[in-house]
Chains A and B, each alone.
Chain A
Amino acid sequence: MKDNLFSESHPALLFFYFTLVISTTMLFAHPVIIGISFLAAFSYRLCFEEKRSFFRYQILFMVPIWLLVVLFNAAFNHYGITPLYYLKTGAITLESIVYGMVLGALLWTSILWFANVNLIFTTDKFIYLFGRIFPSLGLFMSMVFRFVPRFRERWQQIREGQACLGKDIHEQKFFGKVHCIISEISILITWGLESGIAAVDSMHSKGYGVGKRTFYHIYSWHRADRRILTVGLFLYTGSIAGLNSGVGKSMYDPWIHLGGLPLNPKSFFAYLFWFFFCFYPVLISGTGAWIYRRQEKRMEKYLPFTKYSFIHKQQKS
């Protein structure tokens, strides 16, 4: 992750932020709010690496899904006062098309935010958050994450071993295949039990079950986290105060009514606050990159060629 400072914040802060931004976007099904949120999620996703496959995925999968939502909503819902075209089952109305577009955009935006969450929330952050509440669950998950890849690897090795004895699964007919899989699973279970016993021995040897477990983690609450939290709360309060006072209101049935449009000073500020709140991760990452570039200039004095990172790269690795 290059220049992605926001993701380095404390996991609790990250969790709090993403919960707020996703739930608020969903709560106000308002085109402007969704639009801003969509742009923010999209730009934040671009702060991560692997851009090309992301764009391809968006165009190939998300655009058709969005169109489908619009189509279905228009085809099956016939509310509204502005009929555009008549089908046998009823009228296709402007209202249902617009609502479909909003609904599709809402779906798309949430998927984008969840994609970001997925990239940021590595398993250890997840374990940290939920391990505090359910300590044994945290340990259990950590053990599962260790076991699953080993299990897969073992399965592959068993399959090879069986192939050596002339029982290649790919050469078999249906019943032969079933027989192969059954014997593979039987070896896997035997191995799993044996290895489980070893793991339990090791756990007991290190004092598992002797007393009450404490909870250790490697995340600490930095000053920067406090700053991010304060500014973030300020932005969120501002936007919620604005949006709740009618700006965020939206109605699509029977006619379209959107609060805050056309723009007036109140709605302008509400949207501005919301804009900054949504773009908060991008802005933090951006400032991080900017701060580093300034520092780079100062470093140049004594550490020449800092800008040309390829010279220093070897030292890092």
Chain B
Amino acid sequence: MKHLFELEQVSFTYAEEEKRTLDHISMTIEEGGFYLLCGRSGCGKSTLLRQLKSVLTPKGKKEGAVRYCGKLLSEIPEKIQCEEIGFVFQNPEEQIVTDQVWHELSFGLENLGYETGEIHARVAEAASYFGLEKFFDRKISELSGGGKQLLNLASVLVLRPKLLLLDEPFAQLDPLAANDLLHTLLRLHREMGITVLLSEHDLEEVFSYADHIFIMENGTLLAEGTREQIGTLLYEKEHKLFLSMPTPLRVSAWCGEGENLPYTVTAGQEWLRKKVLEKNTIPEKDRKRTDTEKGSAGKGKIPGRNGKKPAGETTVIELKNAWFRYGRKEPYILQELSLSIKKGEILALLGGNGAGKSTLLRIIAGFLPTERGSVCVLGKKKKETERQKLFPHFFGFLPQEPELLFLKDTVFEELLEVAAKERAIKAAEEMELSGFLEKHPYDLSCGEKQRVALAKVLLSGPEILLLDEPTKNLDAFYKKELGKLLLKLRDEGRTIILVSHDTHFCAEYADRAGLFFRGSVHAVRDCRSFFSKNQFYTTAAHRMAGNLYPDIITAEEIVERIKR
């Protein structure tokens, strides 16, 4: 096959920095492959992708050679680079230039000076292929997050690129939208032979589709190879990235499987069945036992589950038949919603994008009033204005984007904003922020930003913590850290309400979970029965092992069960 890209000992140092962000990277991209570039956030994935298109390369010192189709990339005219190398960025909002769907689609073609007729033909074709025809003359703001990212992909593809570079395109999307986009990409790859190079840190879904995988760490290329090779390698090295591998692969590796690790749910089920037969455990019997014990004792069966303690009896917040909408002509976001939240629990609310989960948090916090119904705080009915007065001592709200809370030039100043010096230093130590107290908050990685924002919210001493999509953009390792922190806060007696798409995170750390659907919360149950009774809205671990062990919801539990 033809080499599309060849990188020889490529190093890169940002201007005004001393450490190399990329350190002697050599890799080859062949035509027609589906490549995956993984690594934890801040390891230099984006910087590497940006080396592959001249206009996007940041200022700094470059070493080594990047060859495109045998020629040095810097010698290839910009126009050809624009057409042949497509780039999709992480944030779907920020890369959109214009306000109308058709205008965004035609933007690139206009820049390259195509005639109206040609533009029309290509734009029409792309719009119908991507299912954007209905939105063609609409405003882009009417599209959902997933729709926007699809539009970004389409607006790059009208230029007919040979190679697509995608910089964590799924990070800002909910799982359903991310899956849609992934399958569109696969379709493009299979039907048109477009080469894809994708960077990603959450590998649960993407991993099983990639032909070839690169692993990056601290600016170097740690390893490359096929799925099987990479899975085994990461396990053997006990690499932190192993935590973001697909559940079946993790489970089988933890159980001591050496070769042919399964990486899809189907393969995982197959593997588990064999494993169980091998071990001579009789699953039929096991199932019967758990069936009878379900509800009462099933929960206590598995040891080491975060030292879960039963939630307190006091109700902190109670919503009764709440209704809400944003305008007289808008649809109702909340409809007859009733929910009671106990003191000292972690309550997870799941549901699709735009279902109104964030709105519910705003209503609890008192940013928005209810049209009908009431909100009781500590047994007393409170209006939203009174609830706002309880700030900052009662509610703490962590918005989806932690940047919204940052005002100052250094992390330490941020903390001083809300607390005195001694407390700020103590909090910084507790949250492990000491390493970057003098850095600008915008320069931190996503996980670090999240921690700073959380520290800032916690310093104001809230009883109830409202978290809006706390795991968005975090890699598996940071998620684990966040989870531990939440458990610690809960054990201190704080109540945590989190809104998320992340079934894995919720299954692991929440006490109770509920599904947000059509304006109200359905089926608020304890976490285990919630996830084990759901068929679609559940974790990969449950989907993999649910046939044999109906009450299992996390990967660790499967391992536990098999090893017993």
- A162 to B494 alpha-carbon distance, docked (Å): 21
Pair A212/B113 contact, Cβ less than 8 Å: yes
Pair A207/B111 contact, Cβ less than 8 Å: yes
The residue from B56, B367, B407, B417 contacting A186, defined by CB atoms under 8 A apart: B407
Pair A198/B91 contact, Cβ less than 8 Å: yes
List the one stretch of A113-121, A143-151, A223-231, A246-254 in contact with chain B: A143-151
Q: Please name all residues of chain A whose beta carbon is closer than 8 Å to the beta carbon of B140 when the two chains form the complex.
A: 146
0/1 interface trace, chain A 156-169, chain B, CB 8 Å (1 if under): 01101111111010
A292 in contact (CB, < 8 A): no
Pair A207/B395 contact, Cβ less than 8 Å: no
Q: Closest B-chain residue to A215, C-beta based?
A: B110
If A194-B442, A203-B97 touch, whether A168 touches B407 (CB-CB below 8 Å) is no
Q: How large is the interface on B (under 10, 10 to 19, 20 to 34, 35 or more residues)?
A: 35 or more
Pair B460/A171 contact, Cβ less than 8 Å: no
The residue from A163, A187, A204, A216 contacting B110, defined by CB atoms under 8 A apart: A216
B405 in contact (CB, < 8 A): yes
Q: Please name all residues of chain B whose beta carbon is closer than 8 Å to the beta carbon of A213 when the two chains form the complex.
A: 110-111, 113
B472 in contact (CB, < 8 A): no
A55 in contact (CB, < 8 A): no
Pair A199/B99 contact, Cβ less than 8 Å: no
B211 in contact (CB, < 8 A): no
CB distance from B559 to the nearest CB of A (A): 39
Pair B99/A157 contact, Cβ less than 8 Å: no
0/1 interface trace, chain B 76-120, chain A, CB 8 Å (1 if under): 001100110001010101111111101100111111111110011
A48 in contact (CB, < 8 A): no
Pair A164/B79 contact, Cβ less than 8 Å: no
Pair B397/A160 contact, Cβ less than 8 Å: yes
Q: Closest A-chain residue to B55, C-beta based?
A: A204
Which of A155-204 touch B at CB < 8 Å? 157-158, 160-166, 168, 170-171, 183, 186-187, 190-191, 194-195, 198-199, 201-204
0/1 interface trace, chain B 264-289, chain A, CB 8 Å (1 if under): 00000000000000000000000000
Pair B115/A214 contact, Cβ less than 8 Å: yes
- A170 to B456 alpha-carbon distance, docked (Å): 21
Pair A143/B97 contact, Cβ less than 8 Å: yes
- A161 to B83 alpha-carbon distance, docked (Å): 41
CB distance from A29 to the nearest CB of B (A): 40
B362 in contact (CB, < 8 A): yes
A211 in contact (CB, < 8 A): yes
Q: Please name all residues of chain B whose beta carbon is closer than 8 Å to the beta carbon of A203 when the two chains form the complex.
A: 97, 107, 111
- A209 to B110 alpha-carbon distance, docked (Å): 10
Q: Closest B-chain residue to A190, C-beta based?
A: B442
Pair A214/B155 contact, Cβ less than 8 Å: no
Q: How large is the interface on A (under 10, 10 to 19, 20 to 34, 35 or more residues)?
A: 35 or more
Pair B397/A161 contact, Cβ less than 8 Å: yes
Q: Which among B112, B137, B156 has the highest number of chain A CB atoms within 10 Å?
A: B112
The residue from A158, A163, A190, A216 contacting B120, defined by CB atoms under 8 A apart: A216
CB distance from B107 to the nearest CB of A (A): 6
Q: Closest A-chain residue to B391, C-beta based?
A: A166
B490 in contact (CB, < 8 A): no
CB distance from B19 to the nearest CB of A (A): 22
Q: Please name all residues of chain A whose beta carbon is closer than 8 Å to the beta carbon of B525 when the two chains form the complex.
A: none
CB distance from A161 to the nearest CB of B (A): 4
The residue from A166, A205, A211 contacting B113, defined by CB atoms under 8 A apart: A211
B493 in contact (CB, < 8 A): no
Q: Please name all residues of chain B whose beta carbon is closer than 8 Å to the beta carbon of A209 when the two chains form the complex.
A: 111
Beyond contacts A157-B404, A166-B418: 10 other A-B pairs, Cβ-Cβ < 8 A, are: A142-B103, A150-B93, A166-B391, A190-B406, A190-B442, A198-B94, A205-B82, A207-B111, A213-B113, A216-B120
Q: Could you pull out 22 A-B pairs where Cβ atoms are within 8 angstroms?
A: A143-B97, A146-B141, A157-B401, A158-B404, A160-B399, A161-B404, A163-B397, A164-B396, A165-B460, A166-B392, A171-B388, A187-B407, A194-B442, A198-B94, A201-B55, A201-B89, A207-B79, A209-B111, A210-B79, A215-B110, A216-B116, A218-B137
